[in-house]
Structure 1
């Protein structure tokens, strides 16, 4: 089917817009890109929709969702599990029995809105903006999958995240807790204080800002003096990956304190392949929680040790900090991770050392 009109610029909305109709169904396509590029983009969306043929077979949302999950499982086990959880808790109870052809964009909007107002599990706190954005992404992936399978022509153009949603707050170690971490190496086991075999893990993480998975994948061959080359990560499922993003693979310089922690770790475990071997990420997390409780510290997550590092190292020039934590140039490192806490590689190491020295008695 060919369209007979073209996209027009809507000044009040700041976008190009075109309305087309097929088989009694009216659709609007838009583009916020300026100039003729935006007009062409909106027209292209309309043309693609007009040309798409939809299969006549009826298929339920639940069946299509299961097919998408099986495809996702082949690509990313972590995302597969996250999407499966979203499906069980939110998508399938709402629209699982409906035919895909009968599903509308408003159905998906209701899922997002309801998830925000009715968090699952024991928590009564509203879901964070990041979680809702992930949910919206899963919905869009689903409709894209169905559209490519020619079960629908639906595109989620205007799916909105509730305006009342907020970014999840992040916590960091206080100066007092940091001093405890760097000086106390005991935890309570079976009612007695004993040496914590994971103490160097916690200390190295807060002294370098590495992600838990990056630290888990670190090998002795990756360390040369005070230079540490991050070549891989090991995720919560025990899978070796290339890290969270393209900036995750990097070389970082270590402060003297971090080098000392590596030497202490080598004395305990010997020079085996992995510097910080662990049974599982859950084991590491539970040991960290026990250490905090044993030493009367406010309980933080492992990832918040990374937040602590960024907060401490925020005095470093932006470029040096981004290199250390593996952020892209356009990542708002300070805005995302930095919180309150009262050159070249060698200068970076020295600057970092001086910052920690001021905080630790």
Structure 2
């Protein structure tokens, strides 16, 4: 706590009390137009409040502080992530709380933003992103001593659900691993990215990680993920701190990688994909050319997790680059055709073991 060593003085010319104080190299002045000692005490109290915790008596509005907070994000986050944050604040958060003073902001104000988005049908993941944005903003404001507000109770409504994501089912996977051709100007030709599609399924790598994979990252049977290339063509260290990882090749993934080595082994890039947009277009052409249901490139990652979901979750987290707190199965595991029947057989087998064949 900083101590004030002076007191407010009366300025006859302006008919007001004024006090100037300094803290951490910053000088501020506080005023009161009330006559007499009441005004002097008020000006002193304003100065004391600022010296105590830095929370100004004339608090700034959320939309003003947002600009400063966003500027800090741009220094530490990739363009793609910043663009998503900007979109959420522009469309959802600022219209609701932008004009409020930071010191008058309440947890209910923030909860209303989330509840309104839930009413509009946003997915659970989108609602969680809104909560994360607003918590991070409040944390920034607390660090700057602009407020003591901490929205600990901010939450996603219990009824929020994940939006279903289409994955490749077993019959489509059979085609993917047996047909390596696509259509080009009406003619059937070899698909140059067939190994990339298959490697994505076999490893759960993100599309950007496939673009960033170099042959120097492959040492024997170990692949190290060191970089990713985002949709804007920027090279990054990956989506998060867990994205940088290493994993051992399975027999299938090793075989696919060796096929690719015969094509691009003399270069730096493993799959020689010039952009994620071009990769996506080629993938969609392959699906149409082989009468396969439309799924996104990122869904290949979901497909991988769905296939290996019987493995311990801790092992899968390491493979796909998830933190221990990430709900990998909740977000990425989906039902494969035949799962229900397999589960029923497993239930029968356990009761047969317990009760006998009867």
> Which stretch shows the higher mean deviation, 76-85 or 249-258?
249-258
Contact 1:185–1:196 (CA<8 Å) still a contact in 2?
A: yes
In the other structure, the counterpart of 1:37 is: none
Gap change, CA 1:332 and 1:88, over 3 Å in 2: closer
Aligned length: 289
Q: Is residue 233 from structure 1 mapped to residue 235 from structure 2 by the alignment? A: no
Gap change, CA 1:279 and 1:144, over 3 Å in 2: same
1:315-343 residue CA offsets vs partner (Å, 9 max, x unmatched): 5565654443334566554454333344x
> Which stretch shows the higher mean deviation, 257-266 or 196-205?
257-266
Contact 2:215–2:265 (CA<8 Å) still a contact in 1?
A: no
| 1:245 Cα offset (Å) | 4.4
| CA distance in structure 2 between the aligned counterparts of 1:144 and 1:246, rounded to whole angstroms | 20
| 1:290 Cα offset (Å) | 2.4
Contact 2:141–2:147 (CA<8 Å) still a contact in 1?
A: yes
| CA distance in structure 2 between the aligned counterparts of 1:110 and 1:103, rounded to whole angstroms | 12
Contact 1:60–1:99 (CA<8 Å) still a contact in 2?
A: yes
| CA distance in structure 2 between the aligned counterparts of 1:304 and 1:232, rounded to whole angstroms | 20
| CA distance in structure 2 between the aligned counterparts of 1:62 and 1:262, rounded to whole angstroms | 50
Partner of 1:193, secondary structure, is strand
In the other structure, the counterpart of 2:99 is: 97
In the other structure, the counterpart of 1:108 is: 110
| CA distance in structure 1 between the aligned counterparts of 2:108 and 2:319, rounded to whole angstroms | 43
In the other structure, the counterpart of 1:148 is: 143
Contact 2:211–2:275 (CA<8 Å) still a contact in 1?
A: no
1:35-69 residue CA offsets vs partner (Å, 9 max, x unmatched): xxxxxxxxxxxxxxxx6342133533222111111
| CA distance in structure 2 between the aligned counterparts of 1:184 and 1:64, rounded to whole angstroms | 55
| CA distance in structure 1 between the aligned counterparts of 2:139 and 2:330, rounded to whole angstroms | 33
Gap change, CA 1:311 and 1:104, over 3 Å in 2: closer
* Higher Cα radius of gyration: 2
Gap change, CA 1:153 and 1:335, over 3 Å in 2: closer
> Which stretch shows the higher mean deviation, 157-166 or 256-265?
256-265
Contact 1:52–1:153 (CA<8 Å) still a contact in 2?
A: no
C-alpha RMSD of the superposition: 2.9
Partner of 1:183, secondary structure, is coil
| CA distance in structure 2 between the aligned counterparts of 1:334 and 1:140, rounded to whole angstroms | 25
